[in-house]
Structure 1
């Protein structure tokens, strides 16, 4: 494909749409792969896929292969789902919660998300879903952005307590955060300090991208 070849020299935009939730969504060929971007940041594939793959590797692919049910809050183009299914060969159930139905339509059309049999997509607000769900999960991946902004509720004690409550024993949380200033550093340190150390271990991974910091929580008791 000529666009793919050209993309090694210069990004080739093939689709652009305004979304009520995400403002502008773009699909672009970049360095030979399709990526999904918002106006100011990478939403799926590209650098974001590298970041979340790094987090999954830290949890351990062998641990992930033993899991029954993974919850993804914030689907976008579904790059972390492709990592789980295509690279790690995960066979269990994946539930993806995404508030923006426009993004799911694009993910189905350009990234074939609807071809993944073990995936259930739910169009809902992540906060509402987390309050309602009766399931427990082996891994909860939090990857929620509105362009470069992260909703405040993600860092509130009530929400983090609820997320931790939804973990099975020896379950993990993989939380992708964006750091743009010192206030965000303070926010992340406060978030970690509020995790109960008697029940959970928590850590921040060394950054592999300038503005993204991964937090990993493991239920140890």
Structure 2
């Protein structure tokens, strides 16, 4: 029946989301907010495309991946189930309720190489002393992206957290011409002598991926 019409099986609010809905859609269990997909639908396809742009063979050889914005954990599932990544994954999520939902409905707590940290992504990035092979940024409050994600200070901090040759994969949403300009400006915040930056072709209508590689 879900191929004909989405079937909602669970709905709740959280401190950070007005609506979190788990539904069967086209034969797949997905997590949505009020106005957009949070995990396992179009969002999973978007981030899979980004990982393919890096190269599954490069990702699987990495040691430590940081995910800022876990939600239902679809990118983690892609890393583990499709890429066959066996290294460390640190997932940072501010919304404790969405993690509980992800563990109950999507088995996020069954992934042995995943460590979940309940924290604000900005604060975590400032405090961590780790360096990462790949940082995935996928932070939304429904269709809104926090302003700090596009600030020069935060962009440079994420660059500092990358190991030489490491990648930053940033999922953005473009709904207005202002968002287009915002992304173009963001790309210019990385020193071209130290980073190679490209915007991947638009996917799923409104999502644009920005891929940054630190020079070796």
Name the structure 1 match of 2:129. Answer: 134
Name the structure 2 match of 1:12. Answer: 7
Give the CA deviation at 1:191.
0.4
In 1, the alpha carbon distance for the partners of 2:175 and 2:86 equals: 36
In 2, the alpha carbon distance for the partners of 1:208 and 1:161 equals: 26
Q: TM-score with structure 1 length normalisation?
A: 0.97
In 2, the alpha carbon distance for the partners of 1:31 and 1:22 equals: 24
Name the structure 2 match of 1:188. Answer: 183
Secondary structure, aligned partner of 2:13: strand
Match of 1:83 among 74, 78, 82: 78
Q: TM-score with structure 2 length normalisation?
A: 0.99
Q: Deviation string for 1:103-159 (max 9, x for gaps)?
A: 000000000000000000000000000000000000000000000000000000000
In 2, the alpha carbon distance for the partners of 1:95 and 1:139 equals: 11
In 2, the alpha carbon distance for the partners of 1:194 and 1:87 equals: 32
Name the structure 2 match of 1:29. Answer: 24
Name the structure 2 match of 1:3. Answer: none
Gaps of 5+ in 2: none
Give RMSD over aligned pairs.
0.5
Q: Deviation string for 1:42-85 (max 9, x for gaps)?
A: 00011000000000000000100110000000000000000000
Match of 1:211 among 206, 212, 215: 206
Secondary structure, aligned partner of 1:218: strand
Give the CA deviation at 1:209.
1.3
In 1, the alpha carbon distance for the partners of 2:150 and 2:18 equals: 23
Give the CA deviation at 1:23.
1.2
Secondary structure, aligned partner of 1:138: strand
